[in-house]
Amino acid sequence: MAAPTVNPGHRRGAVRTPVAARIREAAAELFARQGFRGTGLRQVAAAAGVAVGTVYAHYRDKAALLRSVAEEQAAVIGRRLAPVHLTPGRPAAERWAAFRDVLRDALPWLACEAEAGAAVARGAGQRGEDRQGPVTAALHQGLARLLLEGARRGEVELPHLRPDAGRPALPAAAVEAAAGDAAAAVLAAALGLWERGRADDLDWLWWGLAARGPRQHEGTR
């Protein structure tokens, strides 16, 4: 698995000092390698060559630091996903292959955001799955768009929307919602595979969505 990309650039809203950049760079390496739970702010401070109080002066807690780092990662992911959507008529299976490579590299960040969301939710008495981090949001948006376009071309069969000749066409909003639900399920399953050391099995998730039969090659409707 390729190492997650660390983007040293700054996004609007991030702390814009050289010290903050060093902190984010050190944190990115530790989060990607050790996860959210396994990384402490003292470790980040030591890796960045600053006092732990300096880390707190820039980021109120570990969750805030992760979010700042994850926003940079999401920007990188967005740029990598752009070619998936900018090739008119590209088959859905080819788009999935490109998406899969981005997803595989981003899985450590999905895990970090899931851990952080669960920790923050426990403290706030909320459900962890209701919180979506920047990396998760970027991947979800990209995959939902891929699945929606594939469904419209007859190349993807969304769960609960299997072809039925006797059923009238569903409203566009219902199809979009189904694509969003399917994307969330795929990301959750991908994270589960990664946690079990089976990140190379991501294509199994695609085979559950790829259309079968003559509709697979029909044009856009």
In this predicted structure, the answer to whether residue 32 has a pLDDT above a threshold of 70 is yes
Q: How confident is the model at residue 169 (pLDDT cuts 50, 70, 90)?
A: low
180-191: pLDDT as tens digits: 999 999 999 999
Quick one: average pLDDT of 189-209? Answer: 92
Residue partners of 49: CB distance under 8 A and separation at least 6: 22
Span 89-104, pLDDT tens digits = 789 999 999 999 999 9
Give residue 210's pLDDT band: very low, low, confident or very high (50, 70, 90): confident
- Alpha carbon distances (Å) from 94 to 97, 145, 150: 5, 14, 11
- Per-residue model confidence (pLDDT) at position 63: 93
CA distance 133 to 54: 24
CB 54 within 8 A of CB 15: no
